[in-house]
């Protein structure tokens, strides 16, 4: 039997932890706690690095056992092979399905966090421009055709 179960079990654990970190990240965005956000980003990157290593290990195992082509290993080839196997591979099928579901949930959470972060960045940019006396509505064209904001003489920083 091909030793894929430990790889998929570890992948599942990583995806579960990643999901938790994404929840914590969204909460940290709400609190605007940069120290926690930076720490969570580091933890997420470590998990993603480990996930990439596991994927390489899985591909090497599949190549070693002749399941996928060495020159162009593909996920589809593995899935086709797995579908043709008997019930002894049910554990692998189940783990793979669970990993795919967790991955979908993580992608949704990550996209949600990206939208929250984008909103926070826009708000911060607007507040920064307001402090500088700039307004996105008050822009003029330069001689080269680009735009630049009109600076107010009475900024909050100069008041």
Read off the pLDDT of each residue in 45-70 and give the average, rounded to a whole number: 95
| pLDDT bucket at 158, cuts 50 / 70 / 90 | low
Greater confidence (29 vs 155) lies with: 29
Burial of residue 15 (number of CB atoms within 10 Å: 0-12, 13-18, 19+)? buried
- Does pLDDT of 141 surpass 90? no
Q: Which helix (H) or strand (E) holds 144?
A: none
Residue 158 three-state SS: coil
How many Cα atoms are found within 13 Å in the side-chain-facing hemisphere of 26? 15
∠ Cα 65 97 95 (to 5°): 60
Q: Is domain 5-134 classified as CATH 3.40.1190.20?
A: no
Report how far apart, in Å, the C-alpha atoms of 92 and of each of 15, 55, 87, 88, 109 are: 16, 15, 10, 9, 26
> In the predicted model, what is the mean pLDDT of the chain?
88
């Amino acid at each position: 039997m091909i030793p894929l179960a430990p790889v998929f079990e570890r992948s599942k654990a990583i995806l579960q932890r990643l999901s938790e970190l994404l929840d914590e990240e969204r909460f940290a965005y709400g609190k605007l706690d940069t120290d926690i956000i930076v720490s969570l980003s580091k933890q997420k990157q470590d998990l993603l690095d480990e996930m990439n290593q596991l994927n390489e290990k899985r591909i090497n195992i599949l190549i070693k056992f002749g399941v996928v082509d060495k020159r162009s290993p593909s996920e589809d080839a593995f899935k086709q092979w797995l579908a043709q196997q008997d019930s002894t591979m049910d554990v692998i099928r189940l783990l793979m399905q669970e990993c795919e579901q967790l991955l979908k949930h993580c992608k949704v959470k990550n996209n949600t966090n990206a939208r929250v972060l984008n909103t926070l960045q826009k708000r911060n940019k607007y507040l920064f421009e307001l402090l500088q006396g700039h307004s996105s509505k008050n822009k003029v064209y330069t001689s080269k055709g680009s735009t630049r904001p009109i600076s107010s003489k009475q900024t909050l920083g100069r008041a």
